[in-house]
Amino acid sequence: MGTVLTAKNLSYAYDGETAVEGLRFEVVSGDYLCIIGENGSGKSTLLKGLLRLKQPSAGELLFEDGLKPNEIGYLPQQTSAQKDFPASCFEVVLSGFCGQRGILPFYTARQKRAARENMERLDCANLSRRGYRDLSGGQQQRILLARALCATKRLLLLDEPMAGLDPLVTQDLYKQIADINRDLGLTIIMVSHDVKTAMQYAKTILHLKKEQLFFGATQTYLESDVGKQFFGGAA
């Protein structure tokens, strides 16, 4: 199994103020990494870095065998502007292919078919013609996940995917993400503060608090001091 990305002494800063520093970790292909930590611990900053929306202030972030941005899938947190955006679900899902089209104006029949397949995989094919703004939060998240699947075959980044969803929907979505990881062999990196459930699914944990407190297998984390302390507090 190859590595997907390697962080070497990686740091990020806003206007000279360090957000997170000294990160050393690597993500292997097929991994399910969960990045945890309290608010302001640098999770979101690191995610921006991984998406290459933000440049490191020190250190290096290496993508193996030239993983390009248009091979990455991303499930962002929803913005308020999207909540009343007039678009059909199919339009939203299909837009996941946008980065792969280069300058070409329209989507191919194959991409449309793939978009439908991704919606079927996530049990949301029936929503295809519905308006995105008329859906429940859980349904919207599923549509955005289908869009992320269109954008990638290798690496999927998720930013607090369960924020604001009710427990049943959350469980369902976790299962589906685990299925994607297992069946499609997609590498998953998830930022979450729902530590308890994350532990059930994640293979690897990266715990941040302005710096790297822990990086390693989930089981090791649960037995470590950091893990016991954080998990004890959260549970």
Partner 1 sequence: MIADIWTTIVEMLDYTFIQRALVVGLLVSVCASLLGVSLVLKRYAMIGEGLSHVGFGSLAIATALNAAPLQVSIPIVVLAAFLLLRISENGKIKGDAAIAIISSSSLAIGVVVVSQTTGMNTDVCNYLFGSILAMSRSDVYLSVALAIVVLTLFVVFYQKIFAVTFDENFAKATGVKTSFYSMVVAFLTAITITLGMRMMGALLISSLVVFPALSSMRICKKFRSVTICAAIISVLCFVIGVIMSYFYVIPTGASVVLVNIAVFVLFWILRFLSVQSKKRANKKKEVIS
Tokens 């999770």 map to which residue?
A: 43
State which H helix or E strand residue 232 sits in. Answer: helix 225-234
Does 113 sit near partner 1 (CB under 8 A)?
no
- State the minimum distance, in angstroms, from the CB of residue 193 to partner 1: 20
DSSP-based three-state secondary structure for 50: helix
**Distance from C-alpha of 160 to C-alpha of 103, rounded to nearest angstrom:** 32
Shortest Cβ distance from residue 98 to partner 1 (Å)?
4
Kindly state the helix (H) or strand (E) to which residue 217 belongs, with its residue range.
Answer: strand 212-217
Closer Cβ to partner 1, 96 or 227, answer by number: 96
The residues in 148-167 that bind partner 1, with binding defined as CB under 8 A, are 148, 151-152, 157
Tracing tokens 């070409």 back to the chain, one arrives at 104
Residue closer to partner 1 by CB (options 65, 225) is 65
Distance between CA atoms of 158 and 13, rounded to whole angstroms? 21
Pick between residue 124 and residue 205 the one whose CB is nearest to partner 1. 124
Q: Which residues pair with 18 in a beta bridge?
A: 13
Confirm or reject binding of residue 55 to partner 1 (CB under 8 A): no
128 is a site residue for partner 1 (CB under 8 A):
no
> Residue 114 has which token pair?
């793939």
Quick check: 187 and 156 in contact, CB under 8 A?
yes
Nearer to partner 1, 31 or 159 (CB): 159
Single residue of 131, 169, 171, 224 touching partner 1 by CB under 8 A? 131
* 48 vs 203 by CB, closer to partner 1: 48
Give the shortest CB-92-to-partner 1 separation in angstroms: 7
Asked whether position 43 contacts partner 1 by CB under 8 A, the answer is no
User: Can you spell out the DSSP letters for 18-48?
Assistant: EEEEEEEEEEETT-EEEEE--TTSSHHHHHH
- Closest separation between CB of residue 44 and partner 1, Å? 11
Residues in contact with partner 1, counted by CB under 8 A, come to a total of 38
In this structure, what are the phi and psi dihedrals at residue 84, rounded to the nearest 5 degrees?
-120, 35
What residues make contact with partner 1 under the rule CB under 8 A? 51-53, 68-74, 76, 79, 81-82, 85-88, 91-92, 95-96, 98-101, 105-107, 130-131, 133-134, 147-148, 151-152, 157
